[in-house]
Structure 1
Amino acid sequence: MDLTQRIEAIEERNRKVEADKAWETSLMRRFLVAILTYGVITSFFFVAHLPNPFVNAIVPTLGFLLSTLTVSSVKRWWLKKK
């Protein structure tokens, strides 16, 4: 593999990494995670015959969503301290 091919391979990998990073930080992904989490928790509450599954599923969904939103902030803080 010559130098030009190696550079092209690195650039292609970088494009993939940048696309993955964009997806990981996108609002669409966060919204999708929240909807899927809410659906799974609501389904579980129905199966477990718990009261008000639609309302009660909001709290764990918000907790999960909040934890995923704050991870990047905590990571930045941790990297600065390190």
Structure 2
Amino acid sequence: MENLEERIEKIEKRNQKVERDKVWETSFTRRILLIVFTYLAIAIYFEAIGVDRPFLNAVVPATGFLLSTLTLPYFKHIWEKYIYKK
């Protein structure tokens, strides 16, 4: 009986972690951090390779990345509805 209780407790802890990870994956905090780090990485790279106005020019690819991440849930829904068959 003890073994069963331990297994249930492990499953419940794992489920809590999965739920926490799921919330993090869809959070605006994560999206904001991704866009900020993406923008900074692109701007620094543009500066390193000598692109004119790197911090201004980094806006376009960073915005494209943001739009792609914001539209993924929409396309996932379409995929689940029309393509994914179990």
When the two structures are superposed, what TM-score results if normalisation uses the length of structure 2? 0.89
Letter of the structure 1 residue corresponding to residue 21 of structure 2: D
Q: What's the CA shift for 1:70? A: 1.1
Runs of 4+ deviating beyond 3 Å: none
Query: TM-score normalised to the size of structure 1?
Result: 0.93
1:8 Cα shift? Answer: 1.0
Which letter maps to 1:78?
W
In structure 2, the gaps of 5 or more residues are none
- Deviations along 1:9-63, one digit per CA (max 9) or x if unpaired, are 1110000000111111100000000000000000011111111111110000000
2:51 counterpart residue number:
50
Quote the residue 1:31 is aligned against: 32
Aligned residues: 82
Residue aligned with 1:50, SS: coil
